[in-house]
Each structure stands twice: as structure tokens, then as C-alpha cells.
Amino acid sequence: MKRVLLGISGGIAAYKSAELVRLLRTNNYDVRVVMTHAATQFITPLTLQALSGHAVHTQLLDANEENAMGHINLARWAELFLIAPASANCMAKLSLGIADDLLSTLYLAAECPVYIAPAMNQAMWSKPVTQENLNRLIHHQVSMIGPDAGSQACGEIGYGRMSEPSDIVAQLNALNAPQLLLNKKILISAGPTREALDPVRYITNRSSGKMGYALAQQAQLLGAEVTLISGPVQLAAPKNIHTLYVESAEEMYAAVMQQVSGQDIFISAAAVADYTPESVPTEKIKKQGTHTQLSLRKTQDIVASVASLMNKPFTVGFAAETHHLEQYALDKLQRKNLDMIAANWVGRAEGGFDSAYNALQVYWQNGQKTFTMTDKNQLASQLLTLIAERLNA
Ligand code: PMT
């Protein structure tokens, strides 16, 4: 029985917590509840005590609690910390490490995986400062569940509605899945490449590396031995993952080909330049005339090269498309001899490059699956679960 600490912050979605506790228990989780003062205005601790079968914790400094289940003990007890609903204020505090009540103090003290189900008005969700807080939390290895889009308690429509309790529990179950990739070696490429034009300029693209890094972290959670080949990104080095940094498409090709032997799976999430300058002068190119021309040559196709190896790993490509998603993805699947391709829309407001969120349309020989818009950690876990299934098929 997995031990879940459920943190409830103040928001109308707190009324869903009763159902969430009930479902967690029927899914074999041992649940202890922590509420902020604001949360107790929406739902009584007594309701959650009755449903969880344990006293509900609300006070940071409580003489009785500190003797029995004080905040450090509670943090140590938890194998998972789920915060649902997480209000905009709660997310802001957690993202900055402000610990001024029991819930936020437990977040700092907890060493277990943390999952957050945001819930707030759509305008509050899309405010840049909330998105910054969200990105900071994701950067700190917090996994997001939702939010969903739809009609809200305030009468508005948009993103910000807390995911349904059944979806939250389904995602927790998936995220705490058995070690599907135990003893599997997996090689993942991530981020953009930089193609030098001269000593001070380069051609690159909008890839942040978030998708590839999420795949690396989730593959590790599923038990895989991960090697990550990363282009230049602003992300922190993933903990305990063998990571090699490269800059150009040529360097990425060399690193992948050097690491690929003995790998069970290769996932090419990197946005590799298709073309690179024919030659790179050693001196800065001087400004001249009103127009200039660049002469580019094709780079080597890394994922196609891996897929053409005699003992090729299960090879998964990505397809980043602005139009004809299915047609172009299926063409890449065949032409590059891939086992699977994960296609995503790019150049749109939501998902794709540099977003914390994405959606995927996945294709393989005689099969396909849709993963709807969610945070990249969650999406990575869904894609890896599918890869594990296909690998064993
Ligand atoms: O990094 P993020 O900001 O999180 O964004 C994620 C992403 C949008 C970059 C990612 O989801 C994605 O789509 N990655 C692939 C981007 C891409 O280059 O797509 P493509 O359709 O141009 O290439 C098809 C496949 O060939 C890709 O697997 C690519 O890695 C591979 N390729 C391309 C060129 C080349 N020379 N070698 C390759 O291996």
C-alpha cells in the first residue's frame, strides 16, 4: 500500500478532494491529509478525516502533533506528495520555497516525488507570473497533473480547471507504474543544435530540451539505464543521468553513434539542424552590401543512421510539423525505417517548442495512439509506457 500525503489548498476545487480521497483509498493508497487554513473554508477537515480514516493536519505548530506526527515525520512518512487543488498562491509559494504554513513547509521537507494538480481561474493560470512559477516547479522536478480546460466555477471557460479525481488517480497510478524499463538501456537526444556561421554567430532553432529531458527523467523513474545526449539548453543537468553535451549536428551524430552500441532503445527528441554552413571562416563575416547568401549543406540524418544499423535498437523518431502532421510523420516513419514516430504540432500557441506542455500523435507499423495536451513529464511517461508495450509486443 503506497503512502500518499494529500495537500489541499484553498480553492473551490477543494470540494473534489472528498472524492479524490475516496478514490485514492479504493486504489490501495494509504492517505493522510494536510489542509491550509483557506482550504478549511471550502471543505471541513472532519469530512476528510472520515474519508481518510486519519486525523487531518492543519497547524504547523501544534504541541500535540509535534509529539506524534509532526511535520518532519509526516514528510518522512510520505512516499508521494500530491497537492490537489494547488491554487495560484500555493504554487507561487512552493516555487519560491516560502514555508509559512504546514503544507508549504511539508513541501520543503519532503524528499519523495511531488505531484501538483493546479486549479484556478483561466486568467490567473495564463498570467506570465503563474507560468513562471509553473516552469520553476517543473524545473524542480515537480510533476503536473492537469489543469484541464473547460467551464469554470467562476463562469469563464479556459485552462485552469482541476483535473477530475479519477484522472488524477489514473495518472498517479501510471506515474508510479512498475519498473517497465528495468534493465533496459536507453539513449535519448534532446535540445537544439547550433551550426556555426563564423566564430560569433550560429544557426539554431527554438528547442528548449524540455521534451528530451523529461523523457530521460521519466525513463529513469521506470527503471531504465539512461544516456542523454544534449544540445545547448538552459536546463539543469538531470540528476544521476549520464549526460553528454554537444553543440553541432555533426557532434551530436558522433556522440550518438559512439553511445548507441548495446542500447535497447534510441529516442531522437533533439531538433537537429537539417543543414549546416558549407564552411566556417575563422574570422567574423563582415557586413557588406544589402543582401548576402549562405551556402548550406545537408547534415547526416542521425535517427536514420541508427535505424540502418545491423543491431539497431528500438528506434523512435519525433516529427515536428506545422502542417500535414499525419502525412509527414508517416512518411518519416517509412523513409527513416523507424519503429515508432511521435508527431507534434509546432509553431502554435500551445505545446511544441519551448513549452512546458505538449501533445503527441504516435504512429508505428499498423498502429497509432493519441496523447492529449499535458505537461511534458506526464507525456514522456505515457510515451515510454507505449514504447515498453511495443518493445514487448
Ligand atoms: O525541446 P523542446 O522545447 O521541449 O521541444 C520539443 C520538440 C518540439 C523539439 C520535440 O518534441 C520534437 O519534435 N523533436 C524533433 C524535432 C525535429 O527535428 O523534427 P523533424 O521532423 O525535423 O525531424 C524528424 C526526426 O529526425 C527527429 O527525430 C529528429 O531528431 C531527427 N533528425 C533530424 C535531422 C537530422 N539531421 N538528424 C536527425 O536525427
Report the amino acid identity of residue 303: V
Q: Specify whether the CB–CB gap between 29 and 2 falls below 8 A.
A: yes
Of 111, 146, 176, the residue at which a domain comes to its end is 176
Ligand 1 pocket member 271 (CB < 6 A): yes
Task: Give 96 Cα–ligand 1 centroid separation in angstroms.
Answer: 33
The three grid cell numbers given for residue 207, joined into one nine-digit string: 528547442
Ligand 1 pocket member 361 (CB < 6 A): no
Please tell me the predicted confidence (pLDDT) of residue 154: 76
Q: Whose CA is nearest to atom 7 of ligand 1?
A: 353
Of 133, 152, 176, the residue at which a domain comes to its end is 176
From residue 121, give the alpha-carbon distance in Å to each of 91, 151, 300. Answer: 14, 10, 47
- Quickly tell me which residue has 511517461 as its cell: 381
Task: Give 199 Cα–ligand 1 centroid separation in angstroms.
Answer: 25
From residue 147, give the alpha-carbon distance in Å to each of 119, 129, 341, 356, 363. Answer: 6, 16, 27, 12, 26
Please tell me the predicted confidence (pLDDT) of residue 173: 76
Confidence of residue 61 (pLDDT cuts 50, 70, 90): confident
pLDDT mean over 140-149: 92
Model confidence over 274-307: pLDDT tens digits? 999 999 999 999 998 999 999 999 999 999 999 9
| DSSP one-letter code for 192 | B
Q: Specify whether the CB–CB gap between 265 and 186 falls below 8 A.
A: yes
Q: State yes or no: is 112 an active-site residue.
A: no
pLDDT greater than 90 at residue 144: yes
Please tell me the predicted confidence (pLDDT) of residue 295: 96
Please tell me the predicted confidence (pLDDT) of residue 313: 98
| Residues 217, 130: Cα–Cα separation, whole Å | 24
CATH number of the domain that residue 61 is part of: 3.40.50.1950
From residue 218, give the alpha-carbon distance in Å to each of 99, 378, 383. Answer: 28, 8, 10
Residue-averaged pLDDT of the chain? 93
| Residues 385, 393: Cα–Cα separation, whole Å | 12
Please tell me the predicted confidence (pLDDT) of residue 256: 98
| Residues 146, 159: Cα–Cα separation, whole Å | 9
Instruction: Specify whether 206 is located in the same domain as 266.
Output: yes
Task: Choose which residue among 248, 303, 321 to substitute to test ligand 1 binding: the one with the highest number of ligand atoms within 8 A of its C-beta.
Answer: 303
* Closest to 43 (Cα-Cα) out of 119, 146, 106, 141: 119
* Closest to 231 (Cα-Cα) out of 353, 374, 143: 353
Which residues are CB-neighbours of 353 under 8 A, at least 6 positions away?
A: 205, 206, 207, 208, 271, 320, 346, 347
Please tell me the predicted confidence (pLDDT) of residue 65: 60
Instruction: Specify whether 289 is located in the same domain as 244.
Output: yes
Ligand 1 pocket member 121 (CB < 6 A): no
Instruction: Specify whether 234 is located in the same domain as 337.
Output: yes
Confidence of residue 69 (pLDDT cuts 50, 70, 90): low
Confidence of residue 319 (pLDDT cuts 50, 70, 90): very high
Q: Specify whether the CB–CB gap between 226 and 188 falls below 8 A.
A: yes
Please tell me the predicted confidence (pLDDT) of residue 71: 78
Instruction: Specify whether 210 is located in the same domain as 166.
Output: no
Ligand 1 pocket member 371 (CB < 6 A): no
CA of 317, closest atom in ligand 1 = 28
CA of 249, closest atom in ligand 1 = 36
Element (H, E) at 240: none
Model confidence over 177-204: pLDDT tens digits? 678 999 999 999 999 999 999 999 999 9
Please tell me the predicted confidence (pLDDT) of residue 177: 67
Of 154, 157, 182, 236, which one is the catalytic site residue? 154
Please state whether the predicted TM-score (pTM) of the whole model is above 0.75. no
Ligand 1 pocket member 380 (CB < 6 A): no
Instruction: Specify whether 64 is located in the same domain as 130.
Output: yes
Least confident among 65-79, 207-221, 242-256: 65-79
| DSSP one-letter code for 222 | T
* Closest to 341 (Cα-Cα) out of 296, 390, 300, 292: 390
Neighbours of 182 (CB within 10 A): 11
Ligand 1 pocket member 318 (CB < 6 A): yes
Instruction: Specify whether 166 is located in the same domain as 201.
Output: no
Output the CA angle 169-385-342, nearest 5 degrees. 115
Please tell me the predicted confidence (pLDDT) of residue 67: 57
Instruction: Specify whether 199 is located in the same domain as 292.
Output: yes
CATH number of the domain that residue 191 is part of: 3.40.50.10300
- Residue 334 belongs to what domain range? 185-392
Of 120, 141, 176, the residue at which a domain comes to its end is 176
Task: Give 8 Cα–ligand 1 centroid separation in angstroms.
Answer: 39
Please tell me the predicted confidence (pLDDT) of residue 66: 58
Ligand 1 pocket member 319 (CB < 6 A): yes
Neighbours of 316 (CB within 10 A): 27
* Helices 17-26, 165-175: crossing angle, 10 deg rounding: 40
Report the amino acid identity of residue 342: A
Instruction: Specify whether 214 is located in the same domain as 355.
Output: yes
Least confident among 175-179, 341-345, 346-350, 357-361: 175-179
Number of structural domains the chain divides into: 2
| Residues 238, 223: Cα–Cα separation, whole Å | 15
Confidence of residue 247 (pLDDT cuts 50, 70, 90): very high
From residue 175, give the alpha-carbon distance in Å to each of 68, 247, 385. Answer: 31, 32, 10
Report which of residues 160 and 300 the model is more confident about: 300
Instruction: Specify whether 192 is located in the same domain as 79.
Output: no
Instruction: Specify whether 50 is located in the same domain as 147.
Output: yes
CA of 299, closest atom in ligand 1 = 36
| Residues 68, 305: Cα–Cα separation, whole Å | 60
Instruction: Specify whether 375 is located in the same domain as 227.
Output: yes
Torsion of CA 50, 53, 54, 59, to 10 degrees: -30
Instruction: Specify whether 151 is located in the same domain as 229.
Output: no
